[in-house]
C-alpha cells in the first residue's frame, strides 16, 4: 500500500488534464519524450515538466539510451489509486445498504 | 462523464491526506462539520477549508439547518474518478496482452 505522501503525489499528478493525457498515451505502450510532446499543444520543456511530476508520483518511469529518453507507465501505482477509491465507494455502498435494512426493519416492526 | 476541469478538481481534492480522511469518514454516513473536525489534528477553520475544496470538487455536499452544517458524500463523483483510472489500467493490460500474443506468434513462426 502506498504511504500518505505517495498517495498525495499520485492524485496530484492525475489532477491535471495534460498529465492524464500523457498517462493515457502511455497505456498504448512506451513512448519517447519527443513522441509524447508531439501530441500536446505546448512546448517540449512544458511537457518535460509534466513528465517530471508523473515520474515523481511513480506513475511513469523513464530510461535514457544515448540521447533518447523513453517513458513507460507503472500500472501498479494506477492500481493503488484505483483501489483506494474503489474501497471507499464500496464502504459507502455497504453502509447505505445497512441503513436501508435498518429502516426496512423499522417499517416492518 | 466529468469534464476536464471537474476531473482536475476531483483528483486535486483527493491529493491531500486530510481530505481523504474526511471522505473516508463520510463513507460511514453524513456528519456535521464539528463531528468531522473532532477527528482531525487541526483547527476547525482549517478543516472547513478542506471541506470547501471537497465541496468545490463535488465529492461532498453540505446543508445548513439552523446553525449546524451537515456534510455527506456524493458517491457518483468518486465513481467517475475510479472509472477513469480503471479504464486506463484496463487499456494498458489489453495492450500488454496484445503485445504478448504478437511476440508469441513471432516465436512460433
- The interface predicted TM-score (ipTM) is 0.88
Contacting residues for B107 by C-beta, under 8 A, at least 6 apart: none
pTM score: 0.89
pLDDT digits (tens), chain B, 109 positions: 668 999 999 999 999 999 999 999 999 999 999 999 998 999 999 999 999 999 999 999 999 999 999 999 999 999 999 999 999 999 998 888 887 888 888 876 5
Residues of A in contact with B89 (CB under 8 A): 27, 75, 78-79, 82
CA distances from B50 to A22, A77, B14, B55, B57 (A): 28, 25, 10, 9, 11
| Radius of gyration of the CA atoms of chain A, in A | 20
Of B23, B29, B88, the CB nearest to A78: B88
Among the listed residues B6, B19, B5, B10, the one whose alpha carbon sits nearest the alpha carbon of residue B51: B19
Mutate to test the interface with A, among B3, B82, B100 (most CBs of A within 10 A): B82
Maximum distance among all Cα pairs of chain B, rounded to whole angstroms? 76
Residue whose grid cell is 505517495: A6
Residues of B in contact with A4 (CB under 8 A): 17
Q: How many CB atoms neighbour CB B52 within 10 A?
A: 12
Kindly list the strands in the beta sheet with B31-32, ordered across the sheet, starting from the edge strand earlier in the chain.
B31-32, B68-73, B60-65
**Helix H or strand E segment including A92:** helix A75-108
Could B93 and A73 be called an inter-chain contact, meaning their C-beta atoms sit closer than 8 Å? no
Amino acid at each position: 500500500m502506498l504511504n500518505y505522501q505517495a498517495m498525495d503525489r499520485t492524485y496530484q499528478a492525475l489532477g491535471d488534464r495534460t498529465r492524464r493525457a500523457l498517462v493515457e498515451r502511455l497505456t498504448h505502450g512506451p513512448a519517447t519524450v519527443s513522441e509524447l510532446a508531439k501530441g500536446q499543444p505546448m512546448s517540449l520543456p512544458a511537457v518535460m515538466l509534466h513528465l517530471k511530476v508523473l515520474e515523481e508520483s511513480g506513475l511513469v518511469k523513464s530510461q535514457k539510451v544515448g540521447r533518447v529518453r523513453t517513458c513507460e507507465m507503472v500500472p501498479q501505482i494506477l492500481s493503488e489509486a484505483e483501489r483506494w477509491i474503489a474501497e471507499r465507494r464500496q464502504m459507502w455502498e455497504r453502509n447505505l445498504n445497512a441503513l436501508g435494512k435498518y429502516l426496512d426493519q423499522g417499517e416492518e416492526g
